[in-house]
Every structure is written in structure tokens, then in C-alpha cells.
Amino acid sequence: MFLQKIILKNFKSFKGKVVIDLPSLITAIVGPNGSGKSNIVDAIRWALGEQSFKNLRVEKGEDLIFAGNKKETAASLCEVELIFDNQLHLFNSDYNEISILRRIERSGENSYFLNHKPCRLKDIIDLTASAKIGLKGFSIINQGAVESLLLVSPLERRIMLEEILGLKNLELKKEEAERKLEETNINLDKSLALEKEILPHLRSLKRQVSRWERREEIEGELKLKERQYFTYLWKSLVRDNLPQTEKLAELKERIEKLTQNIQKEESKLVTLKENENADLENKIQKITQEIIELQNQKSELLRELGRQEVSSKITITEADLAQEISNLKKKLEELLKIEEIETIHQQIKDLLISLDSCLKPPSPKEKPAILKLQEQLSQLEEKIALKGASLKQFQTELTQKNQNFRSNFEQINNLRLERENLLKEEQREELLLEKYKLRLEDFERRLKEADLTLEEIKAEAAQPTPLASEGDLISLEKQIFRLKKEIAEIGTEDLNVKKEYEEVTQRYEFLTQQREDLEKSSRDLKILIQQLTKEIESTFEKSLSEINEDFNKYFRLMFQGGFARLEQIKKSRAEQTLENNSQNEILAAVPEENYWGVDIKIDIPKTDLKSLEMLSGGEKTLVAISLLLAIVTQSEPPLVILDEIDAALDEDNSQRFSKILTELGKNTQFIIITHNRSTMAAAQIIYGVTIGPDNSSQLLSIKLEDSFSLLQGEKR
Ligand code: ATP
């Protein structure tokens, strides 16, 4: 059995807990008027989520709770639980048993439970729709409702049919998709508007930022060029400097050596000059003096000798002698002028010979004094000769010394000259070195300005790149100048603008993504709606033609001929609204494109009656029951509850109805509230509802015969 149990707790006329077991496919509920039979149907309807007080026959929710009476106190809450077997998974749920429970408290608080877990009304509606027992379908039909099948607008009839045909689920899906599509389109519009609003600002920010991005690019290029430039520069600096430092070091070494040599030579010179020469000169002076003295002595001696010889030589005239003496005197005077000892010596010898020639040898008696003088003279001359030899030796020595001194002096001069030249060269090199240092300082300053370090440049220079030519450097300088100019033109970065750009970009990307997602959702939803519409329409069309077969069959059985069928019609909202004013609310909610419905066409045999309005109450019921049974036959809902729909049937039709019911009851569970004996006969189990001594509804399981007596009692 699909619906296995109905458990009532203080629901309407039922006091406390009442369990209705439903072990058979067809259950009849019988009992006197006002005993509470329809309250059971209300209970089912309410548990399945009914929201209309009118359909529940109350004014307010509180009226559903057992109100109490003179004997019984009122209950504070009521509950209805429906327990379904879901082994065939008629419900879209994995559970084998489904319990739907609804509770209301006097405070008005309403709660729903699925398998005893709180849930939403929507969960109940979705679940019951999945099992084709939704409230809009034909699961619960009371007498009025049967007639309303005929009275409702074509559109509402269509909605009812969709429910019973199990299309409600698809309809719900479609409605959901349509609602989502509408929301999606609203959001899409919003998103597009925002995107449009943000775009000009974003473009302007982007223009600014891309200039700065270009700046970053240029800065990168500049850094590269500067690195290249400074590397080239460094290499040329090092290249220019290296030979200088080496040369300078060499020069310094040479100068140092030269200075040492000069000092050595100078000290030698000083020694030469100061000591030895003075001594030698003194010696020469002294010996010269001695020679002069000896010469004076000799002259004296010669004069004496002359006198001696003159006295002894009478033969000579006085005039000749005077002449001779004058000649001698002249010669001696000349001798005195001669410096060289040898010459003096020779002259003196010559003078002696001339004296000898002019003078006669002395007479023997004068003779010893002259000899003595001559001997003295000879000794003197020997002395003079000795001294002269010494003088000559000293002078030679002095000349030698002087020559040494001069050559030493010259050597020193040459060394000094050489050093002078080297110093000049050193000065030149130092100047170059100084220049190099200045260039290096300048280089380092520029390097710092370019935010580069010497270490980096040295590392770069260690790479095997060729040395730059002057032309390369000039070209690099030009490029660097151009890049710097470009950077200056771009100006400095404004971080706030950059940040804003990033934020706006992110926002824009988000909006674009959102818009794309929404567009995709919109497309997908449209496709889904199309598919669902197609599926609903094709299923509906197919089911409608199948229902028509049974509708016509049951109609012809009930009316003994004629024909009946359902027809799809397309009517505008305005037309349908005009036809049925009372349904305005429902109709208003349906979109225009879905505004199509189902009409009933009939042809009663032996009459011209073709309009439903012209039928009697009984005839209307017959048409409605034929249609209802056709729908049930076709859709095979798992559960149908019929509340006194057979009241208007005569005996023959009651039996026909009972027969059809027995047939349908093989596949569909029926709960039938009836006073009709033929209908009761179709049931496998009959429950009787009576008013108990405490004035609440009492439920009892009875046999068919008992049900008759119960009804007899009712009649009484
Ligand atoms: P009929 O055969 O005439 O249709 P019925 O057996 O279907 O009658 P119901 O309509 O189910 O009878 O029951 C109506 C009865 O339920 C009324 O007597 C009414 O007083 C009672 N009733 C309705 N609501 C409550 C309530 N909240 N508390 C107690 N009794 C209630």
C-alpha cells in the first residue's frame, strides 16, 4: 500500500491520537453526517501542505486543533502524520518509507517534518509532486471539486491535469527556471549597467597606468644601457690606468735607485774635495815657497860668485862687463817669471855656461873661494832640482785628483739630469694618475646616481664582452639621454591612481566574469525552459489523447452513448479572465505565452445538449466522474481520495461507478468517503466514524454488513 497510515492527533473532531491503518487498496469510510469523515480528508489535505482555510473548511489555523466540548478540554496543538511506503520510490527520495508530518500550535506556529526532520513547505510540495499526489491534482476530490472540474477555467483545468499527469514536477522546474531567468536577466542588466558605468573611468586609469608601465619598461632599458655604458667605461678606465700604475711604480724604483747613486757619488765628491786636495795644495804651496827661497839663495850665491869672478877677471872691459851683467840681470828676471822648475833649471845652467865663457878661469890664489861658492851653488841647484821633482809629482797628483773630481762631478750631474727627467716623467704619470682618480671619483658618483654599485659593474666587466669603442660610448650616452628624457616626460607614478586602477580593474573583471556567467546562465536557462516546455507539451498532448479515449469510453458507459473529449485551446488572458472572474488571481500569475488551456467538449445522446452549463446536477456529476476516472486510468496516481463524489448517482450509475472503481483499484489506492452501498461493496476495508460518548469522532473497523447497519442507524 502506498499510504500506509494516517495518524491524527487532536485534529479537528478527533481527540488524542487516532491511527488509521490502510492495509488495502480500496478503503471506504462511512458514518453518519457530522461524524468527522471529511475531517480525515481535511487531515490528509492539510498534511500535504494545503494553505487555503477555505479548502480546509476553517476560518483560521487554530480551528484545526481539537476544540474540546462540555466533557473534553481543548488541545494545545494538533498533528497529522502520513506514512507512505516508498519501496517503489514513487517519491523522489532514497528512503523506503516517507513520513510527512505537519503540526500547528494555538500560537499559530506551523511546522513541517519529513521523516521527523524539520523541513520547508516547499520540500513537501516538491516531494508530493514527484509522487503525483500534489494538492492541485486529482488526488483529493470532493463532490464540489468533481464539479469544479467542469467549472474551472481551461487554464486551471490544464494546471490540474498537469498535476495529476505528473507534469507538475516539470512545471515546477520550469517555473523555477523562469524565475531564475528573470532574476538572471535583472542581474544581467544591473551588471551591464555597472560595467558600462565603470568602463570610461577604467579606460582613463588604464591610459595613465600604461604610461607608467611604459616607464617601467624604459627604466628597465635604461638600466640595461647604463650597466652596459658603465661597464664599458669601467673597462676603459682600468685599461688606461693599468700601464700608468705599473710605469709609475717602475719610475719610482728607478728614481730611488738614482737618488741612492747620486748620494753615494756626492759623498765621494765631498771626501775628495774636503780632505785630500787641501793637503796636496798645501804641499804644493809649501814646496813652491821652498823652491822660491832656494832660488833666492841661488841668486844670492850667483851674485857672490859673480863678484868673485869679476875681481879675478881684469881683461874684460868695464863696458863689456856692464853689458854682460845687464844681460844676465835680464835673463834672471825672465827666469823669475817662469814657473816650471825644469825650465828654470835649464836656464840657470845656460846662464852658468855664458858666465863661464865670459869669465877667465880664476888665478890659483883667488881660486878656493869661487870653488866653494860653486860647490854651494851646485848643492843648492841639486836641492832645487829635488824640490822641483817633488813639486812636479804633487802637481801631477793634484791634476789627477782634479781630473777625478771633475769626472765625478760630471757623473753626478749626469745622474741628476737623468733623475730630473725621471722626476718629470713621474710627475707626468702622477698627473695622469690624479686624473684617473678624478675620473674614478666622477665615475663612482655617476654610478651612484644611476643606482648601480661598483661591485655589479665589476661583475659585469668580468664577462667576456669586448671593449667599447669611443663611438659605442657616445651612442650609449645618446641612448641613455633619450631614455631619461622619455622618463622625465612620463613623470612620476601616482601610487593612489595605480591602486585605484588595480581595484577598478578587479571590479571590472569581476563584473565581466559575472556578466559572462549570467549570460551563460541566461542561455542555459532559456534552453532548459524550451526543453521543459517541449517536454511538458508533448507529454501533455500524448496524455490528453490517451485520456480522451478513456473519457469517451466512461462517458458512453454512463450516458449509454454520445461522445466526450478534452480539447487544447489557446485563449488570451483577457478572454479567460472574462470567462471566469473568480479565478483572476491565479490567471494573473500565468505568463501570457503559457496561456493555453483545456476545454471539455460533449455530445449527450438523443439530445442536442453540447454545453455543460445546460446539464442537470446529476448529468454534470456523470461527466465529471467519467473524466475523473479517465484521468485516474491514464495517470495511475498512487493515491486517490474521493469524498462523496458518488452522492448524485442513481442505482445503475452507482453500480457502473463501483465496477470501474474495482478495476482502477487494482493499480491505484483509493480512500473513499461514501454513503453509497455499491461503492462500499468495491472496498476491501471499511472504517466507520461515529460520535463517541465524549463527543469526539470515534473510528472503528467494520464489515460491509455492519456498515449497512451503521448507515441504517444514520437513517434512523
Ligand atoms: P457529512 O457526512 O455530513 O459530510 P462528516 O462525517 O464528513 O459529515 P465532518 O464534516 O468531517 O463530518 O465533521 C464535522 C464535524 O467536525 C462537526 O460536527 C464539527 O463540529 C466537528 N469539528 C470540526 N472542527 C472541530 C474542532 N476543531 N474541534 C472539535 N470538533 C470539530
Residue nearest to atom 18 of ligand 1 (CA): 34
The pLDDT tens digits for 485-533 are 988 888 887 888 889 999 999 999 999 999 999 999 999 999 999 999 8
**Distance (Å, whole) CA 447 – CA 200:** 43
**Distance (Å, whole) CA 638 – CA 632:** 9
Instruction: Choose among 318, 376, 326: nearest CA to 354.
Output: 326
- DSSP β-ladder status, 3-9 and 77-85: antiparallel
The alpha carbon of 10 and the centre of ligand 1 are apart by a number of angstroms equal to 13
Paired with 600 in beta bridges are 566
pLDDT of residue 80: 98
Instruction: Choose among 549, 528, 551, 617: nearest CA to 157.
Output: 551
Is ligand 1 within 6 A of the CB of residue 382? no
pLDDT of 597 higher than 70: yes
Question: pLDDT higher for 247 or 675?
Answer: 675
The pLDDT tens digits for 158-179 are 887 877 777 877 888 888 999 9
The alpha carbon of 155 and the centre of ligand 1 are apart by a number of angstroms equal to 33
Is ligand 1 within 6 A of the CB of residue 61? no
Instruction: Choose among 370, 375, 332: nearest CA to 351.
Output: 332
Is ligand 1 within 6 A of the CB of residue 63? yes
pLDDT above 70 covers a percentage of the chain that reads 89
pLDDT of 258 higher than 50: yes
The alpha carbon of 103 and the centre of ligand 1 are apart by a number of angstroms equal to 19
CB atoms within 10 A of CB 165: 24
Q: Report the chain's mean pLDDT, rounded to a whole number.
A: 85
Atom of ligand 1 nearest to the CA of 65: 27
- DSSP β-ladder status, 685-691 and 697-702: antiparallel
DSSP secondary structure string for all residues of 346-382: HHHHHHHHHHHHHSPPPPTTTHHHHHHHHHHHHHHHH
SS3 570: strand
Decide if 669 contacts 2 (C-beta within 8 A).
Answer: yes
The pLDDT tens digits for 324-359 are 778 878 877 777 776 677 777 777 777 777 677 666
The pLDDT tens digits for 9-54 are 999 999 999 999 999 999 999 999 999 999 999 999 999 999 999 9
- Find the farthest-apart pair of alpha carbons in the chain and give their distance in angstroms, rounded: 241
Span 691-713, average pLDDT: 78
The pLDDT tens digits for 598-655 are 889 998 887 776 778 788 888 888 898 888 888 888 878 899 999 998 888 888 889 9
SS3 588: helix
Task: Retrieve residue 549's grid coordinates.
Answer: 479515449
The alpha carbon of 35 and the centre of ligand 1 are apart by a number of angstroms equal to 6
**Alpha-carbon 197 to chain mean position:** 26
Atom of ligand 1 nearest to the CA of 36: 11
Task: Retrieve residue 195's grid coordinates.
Answer: 560595467
Task: Retrieve residue 660's grid coordinates.
Answer: 470501474
pLDDT of residue 573: 56
Decide if 627 contacts 564 (C-beta within 8 A).
Answer: yes
Question: pLDDT higher for 470 or 79?
Answer: 79
**Which of 37-41, 254-258, 415-419 is most confident?**
37-41
Atom of ligand 1 nearest to the CA of 40: 11
Instruction: Choose among 466, 462, 504: nearest CA to 202.
Output: 504
pLDDT of residue 231: 87
pLDDT of residue 124: 94
**Distance (Å, whole) CA 217 – CA 208:** 14
**Distance (Å, whole) CA 508 – CA 506:** 5
Is ligand 1 within 6 A of the CB of residue 38? yes
Decide if 587 contacts 577 (C-beta within 8 A).
Answer: yes
The alpha carbon of 36 and the centre of ligand 1 are apart by a number of angstroms equal to 4
CA dihedral 66, 72, 77, 83 (to 10 degrees): -70
pTM: 0.53
Span 389-400, average pLDDT: 87
Paired with 687 in beta bridges are 29, 701
pLDDT of residue 436: 82
Atom of ligand 1 nearest to the CA of 689: 6
Decide if 39 contacts 14 (C-beta within 8 A).
Answer: yes
SS3 714: helix
CB atoms within 10 A of CB 633: 20
SS3 49: coil
